[in-house]
């Protein structure tokens, strides 16, 4: 069920990317795709594998995406603002 929820969240984020017209609105959906579903997938791996190496790797990847995502969003917004001028 967790994997299904993560896939559904990713699909909703992808649909938002397609529907939105402004680059700043698209950034919200892109960052949601890199923040929420990786933790749901990591939770699914932890439940399936217990606290083994694959589960720890999934959690580390989810945390890395969570912290790197805002940096990428900020850089993308700055480039979009610079190109607008």
pLDDT (0 to 100) of residue 85: 81
CB hemisphere CA count around 24 (13 angstroms) = 7
| pLDDT tens-place string over residues 46-77 | 999 899 999 999 999 999 999 998 899 899 99
pLDDT (0 to 100) of residue 68: 92
Query: 0.85 exceeded by the pTM?
Result: no
* Residue ranges of domains in the chain: 2-84
Contacts of residue 73, Cβ cutoff 8 Å, sequence gap at least 6: 27, 30, 31
Q: In angstroms, how far is CA 58 from the centroid of its own chain?
A: 13
Q: Using the predicted structure, report yes or no on whether residue 30 has a pLDDT greater than 90.
A: no
């Amino acid at each position: 069920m967790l994997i299904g929820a993560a896939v559904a969240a990713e699909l909703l984020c992808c649909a938002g990317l397609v529907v939105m017209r402004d680059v700043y609105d698209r950034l919200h959906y892109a960052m949601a795709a890199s923040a929420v579903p990786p933790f749901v997938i990591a939770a699914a791996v932890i439940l399936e594998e217990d606290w083994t190496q694959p589960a720890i790797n999934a959690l580390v990847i989810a945390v890395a995406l969570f912290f790197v995502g805002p940096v990428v969003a900020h850089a993308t917004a700055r480039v979009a603002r610079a190109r607008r001028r």
